[in-house]
Amino acid sequence: MSTISNILKALAATSSRKTKESIFKAHQKNDVLKNVFLYAYDPRKKYYLRKVNMPTEHGDQELTVELIKEIFDPLDNREVTGHAALHHFYTVAARLCGEDYAVVKMILEGDLDVGASISTINKIWPNSIYVQPYMRCALPEHVDLNTWDWPNGIFVELKEDGMWGEINSQYVTSRPGNRFDDVYTRAIAGDVS
């Protein structure tokens, strides 16, 4: 049985997109691997810790979906913050064997360093990694302006500050996935306190 670390090493060892896809397909039913990529690359997941060190001692547990959630969900949901968040990470992650601790460290840092794109990952596990919707305007030379309904008006987006945001019923995010947290965005989620 391949460990998560060995699968990631195999992905990193090749530059061929087709070979990467075949490695992914061979492990398509591996829920731990799927969650490793989800928790590392979903732009909506934020852990609010910069860097962590490798522990001098570690446990012998292998990485599971439950452990991934136990480590990262409280950080993402802001159930623990600051020093408590760091303590939580070290306490739970220290139960893992050294190779799997290195994997959760890469998840935290948001880079598994395997050279796989989100589109490749979503090809294997459809819609698993959130892709921020964004529609760019077309340059005039790429469209037929004569087909536009000029008499009834054309809607345009004024782009003064370069900021773009996605608004849904839960929160407002920037294109890179940063959540806005102010009185207006909390009101969107129904929290008016």
Q: What is the dihedral of CA 110, 48, 179, 169, to 10 degrees?
A: 100
- Chain mean pLDDT for the chain: 86
Of all residues in the chain, the percent with pLDDT exceeding 70 is 79
Q: Does 81 score more than 90 pLDDT?
A: yes
User: Stretch 128-148: mean pLDDT, rounded?
Assistant: 78
Run of H or E including 167: strand 165-167
The sign of the torsion formed by the CA atoms of 75, 94, 33, 108 equals positive
Closest CA to 166 of 183, 184, 179, 182: 179
Reported pTM: 0.76
Residue with tokens 């345009």: 156
